[in-house]
Amino acid sequence: MAQYGRTYKDPEEKERRREIFERNLQFIKDFTASGNRTFKVGINQFSDLTNDEFIRSHTGYLASKQPKSTRTGSLSHQYPTGDVPDSIDWVEKGAVNQIKDQGQCGSCWAFSAVAAVEGITQIKSGNLPVLSEQQLIDCDTEASGCEGGLPDNAFNYIIHNRGIASEDTYPYQGTDGTCDSSKAAQQAAQIKEFNDVQPGEEELLKAVAQQPVSVGIAAGGQEFQSYSGGVFNGDCGEELDHAVVVVGYGTSEDGTKFWKIRNSWGQTWGEEGYMRIQRGVDSSKGMCGLASQASYPVA
């Protein structure tokens, strides 16, 4: 685990982590030996964590605190189903910044919201800002900082604050801090409102065809923890506990439809920080529930 910068406080902790790593390694070997899967798992920066530790330290989506948005509805009046392209990738279109890492802070909600705001700002203005997650952690009183929150919390805060600062102005610390009002007043981007997407993959498709979209997702499964590539259709976990951004969709070479999601676990997880996850599943909520609580900002 040295390649991931992991250090341990004493020999006892190092031995405990070694034992956990060995169990996770066996899980990976067993999964790989089972064959006939559309995705792969492998060693990553979470391989010395139990699944419970992983969930506690690297998620942070509080679905039970879902607020009402300024208005709700589908995007059918803006983007008819027939006009939705077969595929889209907002990364390739220049509307997505480099992958970030939330660290051991349950701030996924802030990273998801910031990426969505960065995306719509680029689409509207041609300028892709790098915005501050830490401002949301410190200043958004609707959320709970590193203990969790929702992208909708963040959108509400940005609207009421009349904007959000840049990452350079208000840099990420990965811990709860006191709101710095002078930094928070230096807006680098603004939004007018936000909309909640009606549940279901069809409505999510219309939204993602327009811009990157924040979604809640069940990410607590061990297969999700160890994902290393391919189109994911494995163990998600039991409930929505994480927030990511859907930045595109398409179809793989073998004909499997997928969503492309941008995570906030650094570039060593998944496909350089991204995941392709199966699209067009039987569940009305989408794979891992990603089509059940989605929202997007309006600039």
Kindly report the CATH number assigned to the domain that includes residue 57.
3.90.70.10
Q: How far apart are CA 209 and CA 199, in angstroms?
A: 16
Supply the DSSP symbol for 82.
Answer: G
- With H, G, I as helix, E, B as strand and everything else as coil, classify residue 288: helix
Paired tokens of 101: 């890492």
- With H, G, I as helix, E, B as strand and everything else as coil, classify residue 259: strand
Q: How far apart are CA 299 and CA 296, in angstroms?
A: 10
Q: How far apart are CA 262 and CA 214, in angstroms?
A: 10
Position 80 scores a pLDDT of: 52
Residues with a known catalytic role: 108, 242, 263
Which residues, in sequence order, are bridge partners of residue 138?
none
Position 98 scores a pLDDT of: 98
pTM (predicted TM-score):
0.92
Position 191 scores a pLDDT of: 97
Position 32 scores a pLDDT of: 92
- HSE toward the beta carbon, residue 270, CA cutoff 13 A: 22
Say how many domains are in the chain.
1
Question: How far are the Cα atoms of 7, 110, 170, 268 from residue 66, in angstroms, in the given order?
Answer: 37, 14, 26, 31
Domain that holds residue 146: 2-298
E-assigned strand segments in 43-101: 71-72, 88-89
Q: How far apart are CA 231 and CA 226, in angstroms?
A: 13
Supply the DSSP symbol for 198.
Answer: P
**pLDDT (tens place) for every residue of the chain, 299 residues total:** 556 566 767 888 888 888 998 999 999 999 999 887 899 999 998 888 998 888 888 888 887 555 544 444 444 435 555 689 999 999 999 999 999 999 999 999 999 999 999 999 999 999 999 999 999 999 999 999 999 999 999 999 999 999 999 999 999 999 999 999 999 999 999 999 999 999 999 999 999 999 999 999 999 999 999 999 999 999 897 799 999 999 999 999 999 999 999 999 999 999 999 999 999 998 889 999 999 999 999 99
pLDDT in tens, 260-299: 999 999 999 999 999 999 999 988 899 999 999 999 999 9
